[in-house]
Structure 1
């Protein structure tokens, strides 16, 4: 069993589920410490003991074991570490996360973004960053990870047609998802987030570059992250945050800032993602055909009742998820099938031209 100060670690997000798991670890060393990963850089890791940060390294055998499970040590993880005779702090054990937000890269590999998160603040600017389709994808992935979402809309002071954009989002997003328009630079505006900032709570900021994530981190915590403007040509943000990092808030919560993300591929199966579009799922249950694809089938109750662009986004997410579930052999077979179909179409076109 490992001994730890719950009250001290509560300040960096320790909750009963993790504390209970820690007490079950078979660890006899009196020097072992329960710590939280606060930053992961390319060649270094920082861990937090509730008072200050310390540099640490992952024990090679633990690193190999995590890689075999298709995961790595990431920000928000709880770990056990101890010093060796040369004063190097080694991470020797990793506690399975309660929640974990991740995505799939274009090569299919899994990228973990944050662990043990209670609330995801989905930050989107009301200026050139405004993109309901991208926000829906963020929302679906967060819900699939069983993390509570809160949509934070920034830059209302410089955006055009703010009421129209708010109305558009209210029409498209599920009614249970909070939708807040704030100035991320001012504490009196950010105070509206207080219900999600209780002691022991962990939040993660997700959004594209330039959306205002680092400004929000600065307002909520004592940390002063660098901030940057958007490009004048297209309104897109410049990358300011280059690594995920955990910061303490005065309220007792902690917040994980992340680099900007524009495109995500879901790290969830099609069934899980479909469940996050609960309005479509509810209507689909009343369609005439059980396997209705909501395209051109008669008796479809979804078409016309759901925003057409939202429905297209829903189908795209499902296609991405199904592709991610395919084995290499299935992908090869699918490519061969479409090559055959393409060649047949080309041959028919050639024959028609010759007639």
Structure 2
């Protein structure tokens, strides 16, 4: 069996459950356990707690992951073996304890990060501010079993900071931790200290220009990520991070920076996503009808209490989840159904116009 240094691997996020899983695999006899710290197409970088190595994924493992509709992500734990020619090959993957992914247009999963303890949901207090988006991110990470922490950046240059924070607290559940920080200030390390303990893994999620790379540099204590300004005119951010990567913070936490998310299609089931809207689910128990959609139904206990925009976001996410879970045949059947409805509506309009003539 290859040498196994539990304490060293713990410093980059290993825990007892993952270690137990590793020793149950036959590859533990011949491979070394390492963590994926960067993925770039055919190559990836892995770390054993001391040294970083560049490697490739064994074709058999690639085929297995592809058949399962997924792939390796930053944060994964893998079994790696050196070949006589000096190349490193990934032979196996430990089943991740948590996994964030999004759905592509073709329905396949696009991995974002694995084995995450906390997701820092980053949003700027400037043109980037969007309550519906932060609510969406929070619902999706919670549905994946990951704790979400909302971090607003650019508090030093933001617009209507106090009013926006008040809107956030009114909109989100009270148990969601929220922070407003200057991502450039070292004081941010102290403010986010509860989430930076040794062996903890965090992922930063947000749009381009939200300040994720700046925050990564501040929390890691070094300029590990390139940063950039905003575009003139619309204030939108530039893509300075082009690949997901893992970095070590002085306090011992591992932090994963990600490229800006333009869209995030849900990768969750309807029940787990609905459970993240605890306030709506609790009130729904008092609706007159068990299958109340919180629209025009009489006796609805939700409609007049929950903000209309939050309720709209809730319904939109559920529709997207149900659509992503449809089979190709179900999608075709739904398209055919709406095509028939559309034709019928068009015909009725034509008949009305003829009658008016």
TM-superposition CA deviations, 1:47-91 (whole Å, max 9, x none)? 001012110111111111111111111100000111111011111
- Aligned equivalent of 2:69: 70
SS state at 1:291 partner: coil
Unaligned 5+ residue runs, structure 2?
A: none
Superposed, which structure 2 residues align to 1:1-355 within 5 Å?
3-27=3-27, 29-30=29-30, 32-221=31-220, 222-355=222-355
Instruction: Say whether the 8 Å CA contact 1:223–1:247 is kept in structure 2.
Output: no
CA contact (8 A) 1:59 1:91 kept: yes
* TM superposition score normalised by structure 1: 0.97
**3-state DSSP of counterpart to 2:197:** coil
SS in 2 for 1:230: coil
* Contact 1:129–1:236 (Cα < 8 Å) also in 2: yes
5+ residue gaps, structure 1, are: none
Q: Is the 8 A contact 2:22 2:28 kept in 1?
A: no
1:261-314, Cα deviation, whole Å (9 max, x unpaired): 032110011111111101100001100100000010011011120111010000
CA distance in 1, matches of 2:28, 2:19: 17
User: RMSD of aligned C-alpha atoms?
Assistant: 1.2
Cα gap change, 1:28/1:184 in structure 2, threshold over 3 Å: closer, same or farther?
closer
For residues 162 and 243 of structure 1, what CA distance do their matches in structure 2 show? 31
Alpha-carbon contact 1:2-1:25 (below 8 Å) kept: no
Number of aligned residue pairs: give it.
Answer: 354
- Local SS of the residue matching 1:279: helix
Decide whether the 8 Å contact of 1:184 with 1:190 is kept in 2. no
Which has the higher mean CA deviation after the structures are superposed, 156-165 or 250-259?
A: 156-165
| Residue 3 of structure 1, CA deviation | 4.1
Aligned equivalents of 1:158, 1:262: Cα separation in 2: 23
Moved over 2 A (4+): 27-30
